[in-house]
Amino acid sequence: MTLTYEIVADDRVIDTWEQYIPGDSQYFKYCEKDPSIIAAGFKVGDLCSTFRYAHNALLFSFKNKYGDLCSHDKDAVKTIKYTFLRDAILNYAICLDLSWQVIWYFILPSNITFLMNDCYSELAGECYRDNVYRQLDCGISQHEDKAKRIKEILTSFDNSNEIKKFRRLYNYLKHRGDISLKDCEDPNNTLCATVNGTMIDLLKRDQYSIDELQDLVWEYNCEFESYFNKLIAEIFPEGYLNNKISLIDSINASLAMYKAQNSSNKMLKNRIKKKIVYTINDLKKYINEINLSNNTLNSKKIVLFGSGRLGELVKYRLAQAGIKVLFYVDNDKNKWGKYIDNIKIISPEELKKGDLFVIVTVDSMYLKQIKNQLDDLKAEYIYYGDLVVKNRIDQVEEVYNSLDDNESKRVYVNAIMHDLRAESCADIYSANQYFCLSEFMDLNMTHQVFVDCGANVGKTSEEFVKLSDGIFDRIYTFEPTMKNNLALKKRMSRVLDEYALDSDKIVSENAFVGEKNKKQNLKIYTNDGTGNRRSSNNTGTTEVQQYSLDTYFNDRTDTPTFIKADIEGAEGDMIEGARNIIKNHSPLLGICIYHSFYDLIELPLKIKSINPNYRMAIRHHSVRSWETVLYCY
């Protein structure tokens, strides 16, 4: 079927979407019990406006007369059609980003105060594709039951061939600036002279006809409509569009919104707008109120609530202090009765049977939920972070005093306090992870050697290439999982092509980085948001090479000038294995210190002890407790 103006004009799905923009009745019904739905509906409005621009631009490309916009020769008409199509492509691409925001605002935990104080606007900078997938994988939301289905919808759309073709065209325009139109009088693809009757090809752009562009954009339009219809069906509850609400309910909801907006949380508004919360004295006061330390734990029967990565780490640290752990406790019934290092995993109900003392070893995003559960069980407990900071408050203050700027000191104290209190970190959020400081942005130099430890699928390495304008000596990536490595190599192959770089400019290793060269077992953590890491007790199923950076670069001519590390708590071992490089060559360092409270305290002091000449800064790059980065320069 030939695509026509009438077919495009008859497509009115956007009229249905606009019904989901929240009105008074939706605010009355959902502002208290499910404010994320209101936020998602608000972003639907943004998407509708952009989608309408895109759809109209596509529609206008089917006209053949443009009045005073151009002369009526065919090349001029094609140029105007192409102008509308470019506008359509841009706005359709923006629609995809806005659909991520609809998902993002829906799955993030929230409350009425968060909604009414417009704190959602603080989160927009963190909403990009990888982060959306990460949040869906964690499922940390009152909508975690829907996270898996939403991810399936998003993944299916991403993997569609039509979408890949459209994204390729969009990225081509973004990186190359333009395409060539077929059948124009002067395509400028060959030299004006010939040699022995042969035309000499010039550098050229990809070519499309107007019909090809219209078909490709229309296919994207239809695929996007199907995708977004599925998202709407999953996100918005049955009865959302029903505008009936009782007078009493509307009055109560109005009073609640008024209270939230004007008086209920002044600290939150200060945190978001003034960026002032806790000082080092506030932290000391908080810690002084905790009447427990390692010295008093020896007399207690210790169990750890949480048998994931943090649980194993805390068990190891307690053993170093001579403190024995009797059991792990976990809410996952599939783990009950199993053992980790000869320690049995038991049900929370078992806590009712004895005088057990619980150390909570879960990420702070689960902390309030677990504390409520332990209160119901009438169990005695402490969060492991409180215990670590209590025992090491002098070292915390030492790190604080060693930081180079006041913003770093503010971020450091508040990252600790927000984590201890299971609060949002929106007030300390910074964009441009690993490249937010001026010393880490001026990378357009000829002898840069970037080492990406924990490269994942290559996002940070690609950002390095962009910031350096493709001018560098080498990039080395280290990523232990095969699946991530395959995606990483595809990404790096594209980057090499786009920047016309030689293939040896990027070296990818399917390996860990650590203290020594050796083989390591890979263990996958699937339920705590931490991904993969080395197995400390050889329970992993896949053997992977581990390298010490000192040894790895000893036989190479390259010397690292910038080391980035996000390796799931193994950063301390990586630093030990790069001790000579750090001491003798002072590379820029961007080291994640958020994987445990031990890292927040120990890693800055470790690096300072190796190279006292470093200046140190700390920034935080998430609204959750993730992505605190130590910068050394």
Tell me what pLDDT residue 119 has: 61
Architecture in CATH of 286-393:
3-Layer(aba) Sandwich (3.40)
Fold category of 429-592 in CATH: Rossmann fold (3.40.50)
Mean pLDDT of 321-347: 94
CA distance 114 to 111: 5
Instruction: Please give the Cα distance from 324 to 132 (Å, whole number).
Output: 39
pLDDT of 380? 93
| 91: its two tokens | 């706005």
Strand (E) or helix (H) holding 524: strand 518-525
- Give the chain's radius of gyration (CA, Å): 28
Structural domain boundaries in the chain: 16-185+209-256, 286-393, 429-592
Mean pLDDT over 240-264 rounds to: 75
- For residues 570-594, average pLDDT: 97
Query: Residue 261 has what pLDDT?
Result: 67
pLDDT tens, residue by residue, 45-65: 999 999 999 999 999 999 888
Q: How confident is the model at residue 247 (pLDDT cuts 50, 70, 90)?
A: confident
Query: Higher-confidence residue: 466 or 32?
Result: 466
Residue 513 has pLDDT above 70, yes or no: yes
| pLDDT tens for each residue of 524-566 | 544 333 345 554 444 556 788 999 999 999 989 999 999 999 9
| pLDDT on residue 536 | 47
pLDDT at 369: 86
pLDDT confidence of residue 25: 87
pTM of the full structure: 0.64
At residue 248, what is the residue type?
I
Instruction: Report the distance separating Cα 358 and Cα 335, nearest Å.
Output: 18
Residue 104 is predicted with a pLDDT of 87
Percent above pLDDT 70 for the chain: 86
The reported pLDDT for the residue numbered 478 is 97
Pick from 7-16, 196-205, 593-602: least confident: 196-205
Q: Which long-range contacts (CB under 8 A, 24 or more apart) does 345-351 make?
A: 345/307, 346/303, 348/305, 348/373, 348/374, 348/377, 349/377, 351/303, 351/377, 351/379
Query: Which pLDDT does position 276 carry in this prediction?
Result: 45
Place of tokens 């929230």: 110
Same fold for the pair 286-393 and 429-592: yes
Tens digit of each residue's pLDDT (9 = 90 or more) over 380-427: 999 999 999 999 999 999 999 999 999 999 999 999 999 999 888 888
> At residue 330, does pLDDT exceed 70?
yes
pLDDT at residue 218 tops 80: yes
